Amino acid sequence: MGALCSVIRFENLQELRRLCHWGPIIALGVIAICSTMAMIDAVMWYWPLDTTGGSVNFIMLINWTVMILYNYFNAMFIGPGYVPLGWKPEKSQDCMYVQYCKVCQSYKAPRSHHCRKCNRCVMKMDHHCPWINNCCGYQNHASFTLFLLLAPLGCIHASFIFVMTMYTQLYNRISFGWSSVKIDMSAAKRDPLPIIPFGLSAFAASLFALGLALGTTIAVGMLFIIQMKVILRNKTSIESWIEDKAKDRIQYYKTGEIFIFPYDMGSKWKNFKQVFTWSGIPEGDGLEWPVRDGCHQYTLTIEQLKQKADKRVRSVRYRAVEDYSGACCPVTKGVKTFFTTPCTEEPRIALCKGDLILATRGLKHWMYGDKVLDSTTDGTKQLLLVLLQEANPYYSFSRIV
């Protein structure tokens, strides 16, 4: 019993450590600033104890904050759900249709992907979100999307309060002259006096909170639209990318295949219900999924295997000509290298001069690929993300023709 309690406390401590990251710190900071300033300004603009409208306004403001934090922490702490360690298809012959994860020592279930940040295979993985410091997937997709909806709505309400507070507080403080506009921020020229004094510092704080609220409304609102587009097609962001690559592969090789995405139920409402339910628990077990006619459980995984094979065929071999520590921002490699570093938390792999690299795809200055290990590891590849820098004027990597 004591050992079990220790394990539970350790797991809880590990979950709480998710808060110690720049993403949650910034997100919760923005929520705290906007919510606190909105409540203070609401008291100055529309005193909640005197009128029904003021009470409703204040209660709605608190309600936004509670619902935003509830869905935010659900998305963070409930998590996406992970493929059980050692999982494999019920029928042994189906193992040939799915990929094997060497890290988790199990097969990857349909719609699952391995997250290098979480170090687990995530069920129905959409993406790893730095703002919740966790993956968005099968179990928390609904909570994450609701957070993306409620945050802009709450910020719109807060923005309205900020604007009305600044307007009503400044209305009797501004005197228009023939040559200038004079603003008296010392005290309100009205009766009764405000409960909380509205001075220059309060005006600056309200203006700052207004900027945060408007910026959050635009940024998070765009993310919500993107999420709803994929949800209404019963896809994830990764699966949308896989579908695009499938079309490119078929067009490039002119195979005449017709790829049909298997999980689109043909109805936006049915697709919507795959994520959002009244109970809050998503349908299914995260391992098996309903598919449309003409498809089966492994339609997508077979396409992924074809794309993996195509990637190996198209890979280009490089040799490292300089040592690279794997630092996120390689300052010692020059200014140009520093400013072209991708904005991602994915790990860079350390390289030594002479290491062989198989680059599978690339951006303008960086490439992704596999590091080829030496003969002591039986010639196996290290299936980790590699970012190869080519922006440095001395070039850290040379192509082997």
Domain ranges, ordered by start, for the chain: 13-80+139-178+187-233, 240-311, 315-390
Within 10 angstroms of residue 306's Cβ, the number of other Cβ atoms is 18
347: left (phi over 0), alpha (psi -120 to 50) or beta: beta
3-29 pLDDT, tens digit each: 444 434 445 666 778 888 899 999 999
Within 10 angstroms of residue 50's Cβ, the number of other Cβ atoms is 9
Report how far residue 141's alpha carbon sits from residue 143's, in angstroms, rounded to the nearest whole number: 6
Report how far residue 47's alpha carbon sits from residue 63's, in angstroms, rounded to the nearest whole number: 17
pLDDT of res. 196 = 56
Quick one: 315-390 is in which CATH superfamily?
Answer: SH3 Domains (2.30.30.40)
Averaged pLDDT for residues 312-340 = 77
Q: Does 181 have pLDDT greater than 70?
A: no
First to last CA, the chain: 62
**Range in 3-7, 86-90, 360-364 the model is least confident about:** 3-7
Higher pLDDT, 364 or 176: 364
As annotated, the active-site residues are 129
Query: Amino acid letter at 358?
Result: L
Averaged pLDDT for residues 34-52 = 88
pLDDT of res. 398 = 37
pLDDT of res. 358 = 81
**Range in 308-322, 338-352, 371-385 the model is least confident about:** 371-385
**Range in 160-174, 179-193, 337-351 the model is least confident about:** 179-193
132-151 pLDDT, tens digit each: 999 999 999 999 999 999 99
Binned at pLDDT 50, 70 and 90, residue 170 comes out as confident
- Helix 141-171 with 200-231: angle, nearest 10 deg: 150
